Amino acid sequence: MGQSGWEDEKDRLARLYGTMSDEQLAKIAADPSALTEAAQAALEPQLQSRGLPSLADLADQRAEQKEKEKALEPVLLRRYRDLPEATIAKSVLESAGIDCVLADDNLIRLDWFYSNLIGGIKLLVHRGDLQTAETLLEQSVPEKFDVAGLGEYQQPRCPRCKSLDVSFDGLNKPASYASLLIVPVPVVDRGWKCHACGNRWEETGPSEANANEQKS
């Protein structure tokens, strides 16, 4: 579009915008990035003359809103093989005022066998809380604790550095598919990950893992 054509388009839009109500203009201006340069040039004077927010202000507001929405997106923080471990981690975050949720915990409550098949219990937090939640969970973890309705739980240790800051980490490994009750379920290598030193090791089973800890 040449300069004269651009000016003609701007004038046409200026006349059109002049016939619209404030609500109609606000709706058009809600997404400045969707407007052509001619439309922006014609719309800006109308907004100013009516005391409405400028296109620049609206663009900033839209960007801020997107950042807020992004911060509220649920993201995976940790995976846990055992329900007590996941429950205590959730309690730690909630006590600090961090919203979080456990995914697949109800299925694993029915049968622990499902934990390895579906990659453990997932602890989800808002993206904006991810760093704070990580810091909280990396702090000292109790070796033993009681979980209401489940009894005493003994937290596994990393065999390399002896840290208690470990979690089940099955789905980070190659997965294949098998059939369980005629429903496709991902089968994954069972393993643990230490968040202190990065060590990974094979799953040994719920009873054997705790037995090994008691021996050490």
Domain boundary among 44, 70, 96: 70
Residues 178 and 117 in one domain: yes
Residues of the chain with pLDDT under 70: 1-2, 112-117, 140-155, 168-190, 203-216
Task: Give the total number of structural domains in the chain.
Answer: 2
Name the DSSP letter for residue 95: H
pLDDT tens-place string over residues 199-212: 888 765 443 444 34
Residues 78 and 65 in one domain: no
Residues 35 and 90 in one domain: no
Q: Are strands 166-168 and 175-180 parallel, antiparallel or unpaired?
A: unpaired
Residues 94 and 134 in one domain: yes
Determine the Cα–Cα distance for residues 141 and 197; give it in Å rounded to an integer. 15
pLDDT of residue 183: 37
Predicted model pTM = 0.47
81 within 8 A of 168, measured Cβ to Cβ: yes
Domain boundary among 70, 99, 127: 70
Residues 185 and 114 in one domain: yes
pLDDT of residue 129: 92
pLDDT of residue 168: 64
Please tell me whether residue 21 adopts helix, strand or coil conformation.
coil
The CA angle 162-78-131, to the nearest 5 degrees, is: 95
The boundaries of the domain holding residue 7 are 3-70
pLDDT of residue 172: 37
The rounded Cα 100 to chain-centroid distance in angstroms is 10
